[in-house]
Amino acid sequence: MRCKLCAEKGEVQCATCARLMPAGRKNECENCAWEKSLDRRARIHVEVFDNASTRQRFNEFCQWLKNQMGAHKAALKLKHYVPFFSFLDAHPVGLPSYVFLLEHFSAEGLRRMQTPMLWLNTRYGVAADEQLRKEHSEKRRIEEMIESTPAGVGLDALLGYWAHLRAKQADGSTSISSVRLSLRAAKNVLASDSQLFDMLPTQKTVTAYLTQTPGQRAAAQGFIGYLNRTHSLNLKTELSERAVTRAKKHKLEAKLYALYSTNCEGEAFERTWIKTALMLLHRVKSVNKKALTYGALTQQGVDGFNVVLNAKVYWVPGPTSAPSFATESSERPTADFDE
């Protein structure tokens, strides 16, 4: 549908740029109207800056932004970038370095300021340093981890271990990523004993934690060794293979019950179900659920799936049989044969 002017006159010349435009726009084409809107908004925003250098850079940025994305989009997005230039105006240190910006905005904040950062890189050669960004992110996550820990003997132990790890990082024997992972494992060990962090772990809680999360043993060993040295403890990290196997089985059974209770359907759900069932019933250690093929197959009156994985064929019960087979897995059919 067209308005009356467009229907009667068709196209007329824009009074600003002389290009043809729909007559219904009267005097000015859409692009010229948005360019005027961008200029007006830029004049309003630039007044909040005190320093002449900031005003100059903001005006440069506005022109660059218009060239990058067009006047329409630039006018609508311009206000989102004002805080970036407000920070530069409040800290007139000349051309800002990436480190200077990173310290104020953090890595997450700079991700939201990608457009001004691209302008700084294009216009002034201020490039992002991925290594610094990663280190800053890791440092922030460590600080958040420490700040979220309640005061007490647990926090004191965590702070002492952090100082130990920082010394290792300073001499180059570990990285900041390893420091964060080690601190996370240490905090988990402390939390397994008390969510209040008001006591140190005992052998019982260490064994229970490592049994439930055997993959964390290597990461937790450093902290347990630190506790032994600094608090005259004698905690050990050796585990019973039988206990680890039993704990893994219980986790798989719990996951199957959780899947059953969701009452979901579809291929993604079925592949997750099959992966868990293969690990529980057939003791398959690692399952790539995207690599397996399967089809419906009923055995002994139980609905299930015929599964092919790594040139082997398995049968697993379907979700409808979860309540019985998850607790009585040894009594279920476990056919496993080469094709």
Same domain, 100 and 179: no
Q: State yes or no: pLDDT of 245 exceeds 80.
A: no
Same domain, 162 and 118: no
Q: State yes or no: pLDDT of 176 exceeds 90.
A: yes
Residue 246 belongs to some domain of the structure: no
Q: Please spell the DSSP secondary structure of 231-253, one letter per residue.
A: H---------HHHHHHHHHHHHH
Count of domains observed in the chain: 3
Same domain, 78 and 33: yes
Same domain, 9 and 40: yes
* pLDDT tens-place string over residues 324-335: 544 444 334 433
pLDDT score of 266: 87
Same domain, 174 and 123: no
The two three-digit tokens of residue 30, written as one number: 């859409």
Please give the residue that has the higher pLDDT: either 182 or 262: 182
Same domain, 282 and 196: no
* pLDDT tens-place string over residues 89-106: 988 777 888 888 888 888
pLDDT score of 9: 66
Please report, for residues 23, 29, 94, 116, 167, the alpha-carbon distance to residue 19 in angstroms, rounded to integers and kept in the order given.
12, 8, 42, 32, 68
Residue 242 belongs to some domain of the structure: no
pLDDT score of 1: 66
- Owning domain of residue 302: 252-338
Same domain, 227 and 261: no
Which one of 199, 231, 263 terminates a domain? 231
Strand partners, 297: 304
Residue 134 belongs to some domain of the structure: no
pLDDT score of 68: 94
Same domain, 272 and 227: no
Same domain, 121 and 197: no
| pLDDT tier for residue 216 given thresholds of 50, 70 and 90 | confident
